[in-house]
Amino acid sequence: MGFAIAEAITAAGHQAVLVSGPVMLTPPAGCEIHQVETTQDLLDTCNRLFIDCQGVIATAAVCDYRPRERFPGKLAKTGVSLELELVETADVLAELGVQKGNRWIVGFALESDEFAHINALRKLKQKNCDAIVLNRPTAIGSTTNQIEIIDRAGSSVAAFSGEKLDVARHLWQWIADNLLT
């Protein structure tokens, strides 16, 4: 979805800066791309780039936990069970929300249960977003998406479905009409 949004932004004549983890997608022409691998890489890169941005659209569903210790190479079998301790990763969107200032932020909430709207609204407020895009896990790895835009007041203000690029164009138009100054 992030690549489709970057394409929609550049097609509309704006500059898009795309921060992406390892994927097998070709970045849109005319888009500045920054590759990251870990959640910490994502946070560091976004912090560095956000200073010069008018706003951010955060589509990534990054991991919430990482192993406490990373082992180089492959762990060989020893016949003994291993315990894996996980620690929380940084919340990139919340960190950007703290630094927001006069910029706008649109987050994505990937939700799968009957409390999806409530969970998305909670994320919108906790992360200081101007709007949040609710979508479902069926979007992962798919060429299509179905989204609902929820504004700062908690109202569902738009919904779009179809090919990701078409959905991205509608989303960008909504942002341009409602958030750009």
Digit-coded pLDDT (tens) for 3-17? 999 999 999 999 999
Query: What burial class does residue 128 get, using C-beta atoms within 10 Å of its C-beta: 0-12 exposed, 13-18 middle, 19+ buried?
Result: middle
Residue 30 has pLDDT above 90, yes or no: yes
Compute the distance between CA of residue 51 and CA of residue 48 in angstroms, rounded to an integer: 6
Q: Which amino acid is at 122?
A: R
pTM: 0.91
Q: Which amino acid is at 63?
A: C
H helices present in the chain, as ranges: 2-11, 39-50, 92-98, 116-126, 164-178
pLDDT at site 71: 82
- To the nearest whole number, what is the mean pLDDT of the chain? 94
CA 55 to chain centre: 13
Mean pLDDT calculated for residue range 114-136 = 95
CA–CA distances in Å: residue 93 to residues 58, 99, 145: 7, 10, 21
- Domain 2-65+93-178 sits in CATH 3.40.50.10300: yes
Q: Predicted confidence band at 123 (pLDDT cuts at 50, 70, 90)?
A: very high
pLDDT at site 140: 87
